[in-house]
């Protein structure tokens, strides 16, 4: 369950006797699951919305770090199989009580293929339904991950800046089985894109207070791929911030730590046997159609999504007269937004917020 406010490592699985305990995403929540030697499994932590980040287990008792109720990480404990838990710490209460935290409002829908999609909307701080507002669509990475009902700092910041923020779990993500997650090959950038566009339509329908001409979009990693893909397939967004992105599956395959097998899984092609399919799935192919002002955020030690992809897309947009800017962070990795140096994390968020303020608050 994605968040930019998780800390620490910790255990994600443990074998006890002939049973295996591990963290697993179900829907948009993560739980502790027990698998028995016969292959059967059951959820053994309370079925409470949020995310368990790590845990330990001893003599039928769990202790774990979790995020609950749009809050930050705290320690909890429960007995195996219990329906409730005990909160052990309140490290973040002072922060949460002294800042304006906007609630997450569910907005689920059934897409045009009959698939149920989970989504949420965060209203601006001091929201007045008689006013109009800009909005930001935030797309998660992965795509094998999910958004859920946990604290997300950048979203709360934008809400405090007067934005609606909306986000969903399109096809390709975790928590709903293999069929839901399967967007491989020619479905990559199609099924997921359709879900995101239909979700945007639903949000605008539900909230006429959002000015449809002042809607932006951002995302990182897979979300950065989707940002690059979106600007080549629609002009509905007034500004985009593309972070640690993919633009060219050929260079992605040959320059990154997972490229050689990620390509075979995601787009089911390689540069020698099916280069045309790799190019068809690459946002760079459609860069000549881009008109949306686009900011690229990239780290120069990001080996998951190497900076050449962001630079290729940036250069292509410049060549075709599309307003664009690139901000390169030295000495940072793929995890800039979560584990980067504090000064760089502040600068990254300022760059994105300033970009949106420039184009969405005109």
268: helix, coil or strand? coil
Residues with Cβ < 8 Å from 131, sequence gap 6 or more? 209
- Which one-letter DSSP state was computed for residue 186? G
Q: What are phi and psi of 41, to 5 degrees?
A: -145, 155
Please pick, among 102, 140, 247, 334, the residue that the annotation labels catalytic: 334
Please pick, among 30, 221, 245, 251, the residue that the annotation labels catalytic: 221
- Which one-letter DSSP state was computed for residue 39? S
Distances (CA, A) of 119 to 122, 273, 317: 10, 38, 31
Q: Are strands 86-87 and 73-79 parallel, antiparallel or unpaired?
A: antiparallel
DSSP track, 41-110: EEE-S---SEEEEEEEEETTEEEEEEEETT--EEEEEEETT-S--EE---TTHHHHHHS--PPEEE--EE
**CA–CA dist 75, 207 (Å, integer):** 37
Four-point Cα dihedral 333, 354, 287, 254, nearest 10: 0
Please say if 221 is a catalytic residue: yes
| E strand segments, the chain | 13-16, 19-26, 29-35, 41-43, 50-58, 61-68, 73-79, 86-87, 104-106, 109-110, 116-117, 119-122, 133-139, 164-168, 210-220, 239-243, 294-299, 324-329
Is there a contact between 41 and 28 (Cβ–Cβ < 8 Å)? no
Distance of CA 200 to the CA centre of its chain: 16
- Sign of the alpha-carbon dihedral angle for 261, 262, 265, 267: negative
Please say if 98 is a catalytic residue: no
Residues with Cβ < 8 Å from 289, sequence gap 6 or more? 232, 233
Active site residue ranges? 221, 334
């Amino acid at each position: 369950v994605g968040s930019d406010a998780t800390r620490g490592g910790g255990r994600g699985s443990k074998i006890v006797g002939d049973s295996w305990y591990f963290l697993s995403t179900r829907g948009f929540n993560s739980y502790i699951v027990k698998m028995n030697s016969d292959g059967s499994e059951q959820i053994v932590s309370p079925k409470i919305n949020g995310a368990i980040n790590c845990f330990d287990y001893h003599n039928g008792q769990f202790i774990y770090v979790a995020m609950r109720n749009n809050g930050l990480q705290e320690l909890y404990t429960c007995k195996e199989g219990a329906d409730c838990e005990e909160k052990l710490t309140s490290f973040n209460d002072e922060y949460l009580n002294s800042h304006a935290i906007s609630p997450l409002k569910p907005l689920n829908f059934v897409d045009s293929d009959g698939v149920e999609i989970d989504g949420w909307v965060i209203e601006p701080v001091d929201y007045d339904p008689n006013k109009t507002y800009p909005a930001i669509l935030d797309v998660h990475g992965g795509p094998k991950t999910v958004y859920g009902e946990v604290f997300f700092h950048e979203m709360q910041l934008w809400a405090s800046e007067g934005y609606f923020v909306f986000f969903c779990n399109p096809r390709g993500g975790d928590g709903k089985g293999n069929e839901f997650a399967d967007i491989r090959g020619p479905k990559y950038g199609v099924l997921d894109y359709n879900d995101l566009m239909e979700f945007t339509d639903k949000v605008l329908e539900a909230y006429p207070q959002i000015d449809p001409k002042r809607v932006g979009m951002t995302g990182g990693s897979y979300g950065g791929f989707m940002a690059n893909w979106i600007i080549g397939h629609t002009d509905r967004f007034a500004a985009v911030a593309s972070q640690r992105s993919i633009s060219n599956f050929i260079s992605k395959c040959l320059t990154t730590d997972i490229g050689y097998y990620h390509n075979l899984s995601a787009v089911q092609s390689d540069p020698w046997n099916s280069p045309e399919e790799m190019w068809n799935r690459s946002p760079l192919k459609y860069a000549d159609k881009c008109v949306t002002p686009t900011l690229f955020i990239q780290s120069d030690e990001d080996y998951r999504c190497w900076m050449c992809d962001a630079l290729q897309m940036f250069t292509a947009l410049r060549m075709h007269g599309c307003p664009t800017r690139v901000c390169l962070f030295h000495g940072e990795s793929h995890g800039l937004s979560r584990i980067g140096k504090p000064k760089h994390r502040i600068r990254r968020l300022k760059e994105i917020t300033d970009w949106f303020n420039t184009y969405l608050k005109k």
